[in-house]
Chains A and B, each alone.
Chain A
Amino acid sequence: MIELYLIFLPAVFAALIALSRKPVVIKILLAVAALLHLAGVIMLFNRLQEDAAALLPGWLEADFPGMIVVCIASALFCAVAIYTLFWLPASRKFEIQYPTMSSHALCSVMCLFLSTMSLTAFAANFGLLWVAVEATTLASAPLIAFRRSRAALEAMWKYLVICSVGIGLALLGTFMLGAAARFSSQGFTDLSFRSFISIKEYLDPQYFKAAFLFCLAGYGLKMGLAPFHVWLPDAYSESPAPVSVLLSGALVNCSFLAIVRVTAAVPEKLQSFCSEYLIGLGILSLFVAACFIIRQKDFKRMLAYSSVEHMGLMAIFWGLQMTDAALLHMIGHSACKMILFFMAGNIFLVYGTKEYRYISGMFSTMPLAACIWLGGMLFICGVPPSPLFTTEIMLIQKAGGVLGLLILLPLFVIFCGMTRTALEMTMGPAGEVPRKEAVPAGLRLSIIPAFLAFIPLAAGIYLIFQL
């Protein structure tokens, strides 16, 4: 019952927001939707421990990885909703070079986006999973073009075309999974995860290999694994701060969850085949991210490539079958990336540029913002006491010699590139601030990520003592 509540509640609020025109009402509705959704997730966590039966078996079921994903999405949405309340007026006041989407359209589509992400987390059927992942693409595409600039429209077009084709491949993969069951000795019944897991040893290996590759390409594209990551830097850097937080912190997890679902149906004898592909794409993502981060001029694109890096790490975790560490890494990455994208939005609000060479001496102009920005950059690179430090140590221990070296080398390059950018932006003499009048607003907006920063900090310290 709660699953349906979590899926339909944001959709209902999306309709309510779309119908209302008063800015105050829109803000209240957005905040209420976020809080009610979070309350529902907490209730579901309590019920999950009681191990109650699912309402619609074979269609909607809540399990542990799905719960983690919906929990992250809900918590992030809550933070984003509160941030949006203060960010929207500031953005309307200072960022006036482009016409933008109306406030009620933004808030309404954001609620729809949350609804589709909840559906992805609870889908217990490969067909429904595909429908949900495609729906997340559709709900997020209009958000990217919040600013009606040419660059934003271009980013949205690329996102729509590339992601839809990619997700189309995943649909072909889903049908091939069906074919693999059809040509097995057990025969095809339905596309639910449960029936696939029960017959997985009998699946036709040839069709399953093809199905796995198509699904990996399709959902991997949506997740941002190299070489399918081309849409990701454009979409992340052109979207406004609240949207990039949702895209980088919540949406990628949904796509990763889709890959997790497919790997659950892998027959024993194909396990190594699938692991090799996951690890191979992961390593490639790390190297691609390293190459683009070290020469990146645009700090929002840099954060986007850092997402490519972490998606690669998550694929490697999953390939090495470190499931708990992968989920832990996912939570840590979402928390750190959320703080960084909030800060990137604040910096963009004050400086009006995404190129780091025009920004310097943030410690003297906006000290609080500079502290969080630098700290966040160190955290995302896995400097202790970041939670990512612990998971990466576990990964290196498991990966051993050659693979460990292949992981550590790009991680080091990424660390150099990201800290250099962060240091150049924060240190040095105070540079010119184009929008002096926006500095107080930027500082006020930094208070939210400052509070949120305690979550990864506390979690990281706790994890280090557990190591």
Chain B
Amino acid sequence: MNVQVEILMAFFLLSCLMLAACSRMLHCIRIVALQGLLLGLMPLAAAEHIHMHQIGAAFLNISLKAVLLPLLLKAAMHKAQVKRELEPLVGYAASLLIVLGGMFISFWLGRKLNLPENAGALRLAVPVAFSVVLTGLFIIMARKKAITQVIGFLTFENGIALFGSAMMIECGLAVELGILLDVFVLVFIMGIAVMRINSAFEHIDSDKLNLLEEQTHGAAK
């Protein structure tokens, strides 16, 4: 197994732990940018011979996930004037424990999957990818602010992309571009929605978005 890949994977795991314990929004955005960078470098580190199109793909991935999306998120953050996630639904110490638990489960699952002996980096990639996916899902559920949920979604998506690149599933250029475009447009729309919610509700706490619960007496307007 090659060393560079192992280092990148270790950084990925660290970024998950940092994200779970981080309350300042700007830090969270930087961590997601770091994940984007790691994700872009992964195919270059894993490949034995580096081709031109791999460099192109890495460049595209890094410029979108490590530069453009974080800038977008920062703009939305400034517009909505949120700096911190002050009262998360799950405290930071508990969050760390839960994310660690998620990693434990992921590694246990990774051992259960019968990967071939010569799989190399794959043996580490699957559990790491699952850890990142679980962390993202946890952030979406455990944080209140709409922006933090977007950050959680990006982490979730990074985990899935990590799985794809580790399994070396070549979907073709059109699909890879399509996936990147979809993620970009999604974050863009989410950013606009954050601003709209901010101006309509005067806050972006998504746990207070509860007008539409099922009610027995008179449903929501």
- Contact surface of A with B, Cβ cutoff 8 Å: 59, 125, 127-128, 130-131, 134-135, 137-138, 141-142, 145, 148-151, 153-158, 160-161, 164-165, 168, 171-172, 175, 178-179, 182-183, 188, 190-191, 206-207, 233-234, 238, 292, 295-298, 301, 354-355
Interface residues of B in 134-153 (CB under 8 A from A): 137, 140, 146, 149, 153
Contact of A191 with B172 in the complex, beta carbons under 8 Å? yes
Contact of B171 with A153 in the complex, beta carbons under 8 Å? no
B211 lies within 8 A of chain A by Cβ = yes
A to B CB contacts below 8 Å, 9 in the list:
A127-B178, A138-B182, A138-B185, A153-B200, A154-B210, A165-B153, A172-B160, A191-B172, A296-B219
CB-CB < 8 A to B189: which residues of A? 138, 141-142, 160
CB-CB < 8 A to B206: which residues of A? 157, 161
Contact of B186 with A127 in the complex, beta carbons under 8 Å? no
Contact of B170 with A190 in the complex, beta carbons under 8 Å? yes
Contact of A172 with B163 in the complex, beta carbons under 8 Å? yes
Interface hit among B42-50, B77-85, B190-198: B190-198
Interface residues of B in 162-221 (CB under 8 A from A): 163-164, 167-172, 174-175, 178-179, 181-182, 185-186, 189-190, 193, 196-197, 200-201, 206, 209-212, 214-221
Contact of B190 with A131 in the complex, beta carbons under 8 Å? no
CB-CB < 8 A to A188: which residues of B? 169-170
Tell which of B168, B175, B210, B218 touches A131, judged by Cβ atoms closer than 8 Å: B175
Quote the shortest CB–CB distance from A153 to chain B (angstroms).
6
Task: Give Cα A354–Cα B218 distance, bound, in whole angstroms.
Answer: 10
CB-CB < 8 A to B215: which residues of A? 297
Contact flag A175-B212 (CB < 8 Å), given A128-B175, A165-B140: no
CB-CB < 8 A to B200: which residues of A? 148-150, 153
Contact flag A127-B172 (CB < 8 Å), given A148-B196, A151-B220, A161-B140: yes
Contact of A154 with B167 in the complex, beta carbons under 8 Å? no
Contact flag A295-B163 (CB < 8 Å), given A157-B146, A164-B186, A190-B172: no
Quote the shortest CB–CB distance from B118 to chain A (angstroms).
12
CB-CB < 8 A to A134: which residues of B? 182, 186
Contact of B219 with A128 in the complex, beta carbons under 8 Å? no
B interface majority secondary structure: helix
Quote the shortest CB–CB distance from B89 to chain A (angstroms).
15
Contact of A59 with B174 in the complex, beta carbons under 8 Å? yes
Residue ID in chain A nearest B163 by CB atoms: A175
How many A-B residue pairs have C-beta atoms within 8 angstroms? Tell me.
Answer: 135
Task: Give Cα A301–Cα B220 distance, bound, in whole angstroms.
Answer: 10
Task: Give Cα A297–Cα B170 distance, bound, in whole angstroms.
Answer: 50
Contact of A234 with B212 in the complex, beta carbons under 8 Å? yes
Contact of A158 with B153 in the complex, beta carbons under 8 Å? no
CB-CB < 8 A to A128: which residues of B? 174-175, 178
Task: Give Cα A136–Cα B196 distance, bound, in whole angstroms.
Answer: 21
Contact of B193 with A160 in the complex, beta carbons under 8 Å? yes
Contact of B214 with A292 in the complex, beta carbons under 8 Å? yes
Contact flag A206-B113 (CB < 8 Å), given A134-B182, A145-B196, A165-B137: yes
Contact of A154 with B211 in the complex, beta carbons under 8 Å? yes
Task: Give Cα A134–Cα B160 distance, bound, in whole angstroms.
Answer: 15
A-B contacts besides A154-B209, A175-B163, A188-B169, 14 pairs, CB < 8 Å? A125-B171, A127-B172, A128-B178, A131-B181, A138-B182, A141-B189, A154-B211, A158-B209, A160-B189, A165-B153, A172-B133, A182-B168, A298-B219, A354-B221
Quote the shortest CB–CB distance from A339 to chain B (angstroms).
23
Task: Give Cα A160–Cα B171 distance, bound, in whole angstroms.
Answer: 25
Contact of A154 with B169 in the complex, beta carbons under 8 Å? no
Residue ID in chain B nearest A301 by CB atoms: B219
Quote the shortest CB–CB distance from B2 to chain A (angstroms).
19
CB-CB < 8 A to B167: which residues of A? 175, 178-179, 182
CB-CB < 8 A to A151: which residues of B? 211-212, 220-221
B6 lies within 8 A of chain A by Cβ = no
CB-CB < 8 A to A233: which residues of B? 212, 214
Quote the shortest CB–CB distance from A311 to chain B (angstroms).
19
Task: Give Cα A160–Cα B191 distance, bound, in whole angstroms.
Answer: 11
Quote the shortest CB–CB distance from A161 to chain B (angstroms).
6
